[in-house]
Structure 1
Amino acid sequence: MTNWFISTSGKTRSGEPAPGKARVRAGATFAAKLTFDAVTKTYGERPAVDALSLEIAPGEVVCLLGPSGCGKTTLLRLAAGIERLTSGRILISDREVAGPARFVQPEDRSVGLMFQDFALFPHLSILENVAFGLKGLPREEARREALSILSRVGLERYADQYPHILSGGQQQRVALARAIVPRPAVMLMDEPFSGLDVQLRDAMQEETLALIRETRATCMIVTHHPEEAMRLGDRIAVMRAGRIVQTGRAEDLYNNPAALFVARLFSEINEVEVPVRAGQIATPIGRLSAPGLADGARATLCIRERSVELVPASGNGKDAGTALKGRIRSAKFLGDAVRYEVAVEGFDAPLNARTVSGPQLKEGSEVAVRIDPVAALVFPSNDDKTP
């Protein structure tokens, strides 16, 4: 894998640092705590961010995850000072930077901001773009700092060129260098990898995270890709309709989603509506607890596609009592997995199953279907099918 953040002046052809050449490192800064205290931002009568509270620890990377229009970018712009909040407070290291009677200008917040479209200045050279945030330094010192970070991202040879000659990935690296060179205490990134192809996106995610760790900046990354959030964030904050639905580590949100909305974000699931009786639901895989739901209410049984195990039927009754009978209705090859639609006894509608790619089961074949009840999730039913 190419390492974009190693100086090309000290690399072998394989991309590894040449013997005796030290890796160029970014300067460290003092990480800051970022606090949102009951923050609200309205446009007209519609709240884009609604009484939201969140605390990000010094040096922590938190990903804001949610569908388009849920308020993620608005919250980032409020933290940067590009937007003024309607009510609530924003604090950086317990210093109020936005509140009812206080507003600190963006340039005085020690915040770095990286936009989705990179926002490079077309009339400035690559070096001038990177040095743009160093106006407080003497010209030669600013030039040295900018060249150093360009070397760190492997683009110093383009210092005197202009952004239009660069590829999308190279422009992304310039935008990252420009945001990080002032050594901000807080780094804010608005879907920074959305315009990159898959292979480059994976490489840039790894290298961007490495650079953020080196600088020790507190970081908030906006994304609508769950896998990206799981890959990058120490914690994930799931947003919906201007509010935080759940925060936690990736494994916590995956294994213990607080709502059906969160479960849908992190895995492909089968949803089956079942009536509640005496705090339980009766399902083909057994009786499951439905705490907090009244008798007669409807619950949604969620079964992850990857939790549905398919085994060719033995035909000798060996599977009886340990599995449900099923029939393959369709199979779709997806590269590293196969997605099956399976008619399963006891279920009114077919279930989807996703298995690791291997010998493919044929359409129409009989299978034994095993579903671990422990892996099933139960939520109150609603008519909302988003995201």
Structure 2
Amino acid sequence: MRKNVLVIGAGGVGQVVVHKCAQNNKLLGDIHIASRTIDKCRRIVASVREKNALQANGVLVAHALDAMDVAATSQLIRTTGAQIVINVGSSFLNMSVLSACIETGAAYIDTAIHEDPVKICETPPWYANYEWKRRAECERAGVTAILGAGFDPGVVNAYAKLASDRYFDRIDSIDIVDINAGNHGRFFATNFDPEINFREFTGQVWSWQNGRWTANRMFEVSREWQLPVVGLQKAYLTGHDEVHSLSQILGVPTVRFWMGFSDHYINVFTVLKNLGLLSEQPLRTAEGQEVVPLKVVKAALPDPASLAPTYAGKTCIGVLVQGRQRGSEQEVFVYNVADHKQAFEEVGSQGISYTAGVPAAAAAMLIASGEWDVRKMVNVEELAPQPFLGLLDRLGLPTRILHHGIDSSLQGQCDATDTSRAASVP
């Protein structure tokens, strides 16, 4: 059993994680939140107290921290007694925070792949560039490191694993579909850190097709999807973290990621990109001041956390798995629908932050209980999916499964599958 959580990062996702950890502090123990800007941490602490979110009386404290400083992060882990670290700060921090966890023995959780600030869209598979190089180091230290435990990556990895275990003898393709059918009412904004958001879309689009890496341009390939609740939606083939683990770990010949974008988003993005304003490379102004265009754009855009009060509508994120079972073609769509307004009412964040933050808190709870405390580095699809998805049902992200035209809950479909299997045994 592990106790006491340190959350690194005080953005919209950090707010969700702290609220959910506070709601379950009987299991998780003391809750600490750290960021370079301590005022953001204090506002999150205040929001938890305003909503009386603590399950039981306990420690809830804000700290100032530069998480790029491994020694300072290690010291804070020791000072707080944190045995679980949830890293929801910038993905530039991952290797530093992981180093501090290895040094102190604390378990590590993140929600996105590590990035080098001066490199965009590195050689696939991306996890092999940084995280997987440290597998042996984690195992020697007995450190549990769960990579990509947000929604995508994270929950969708568990969806794919669940489908693989329960419905297929052979999987031919996995398509992850991410649709935000909500509206924040602003002229233009990103739903999470603009710098990370734009970096995802300015390089090549890598997908895994027919057993090899395939490159496309952003917005070059699109497809319409008829989805539960949100209806007909257009989505674009996009590079994303989970493609780089699912393709290698599950050994599936085709893994693709599709994300929905409005025409307005694409127009604004295209103008910014063509003007060079999404570049991560510094330039010098006529006044002699050095600036990074991407950081200037980030500073000019709304803080994603500020979108929450007026956000309306729903998200639909799911995984379409196709293959064969007992010689017959098989197709399963495993998904979740989240509501922006409901997320704000519960934890003060919009639905995108909610879907990313709740799974990270769930992963911490599974480490605390021992179910996921594996003492090595893993991606989510290497872990048992049922405890994770069952816990998410309770925490506010229920799983739905569309199979043979029947749309049912996670438990309903699993019971039906188990009954079907039992009936087929001679």
TM-score of the pair, normalised by structure 2: 0.25
TM-score of the pair, normalised by structure 1: 0.27
Question: Which one has the bigger helix percentage?
Answer: 2
**Larger RCO (alpha carbons 8 Å, 6+ apart):** 2
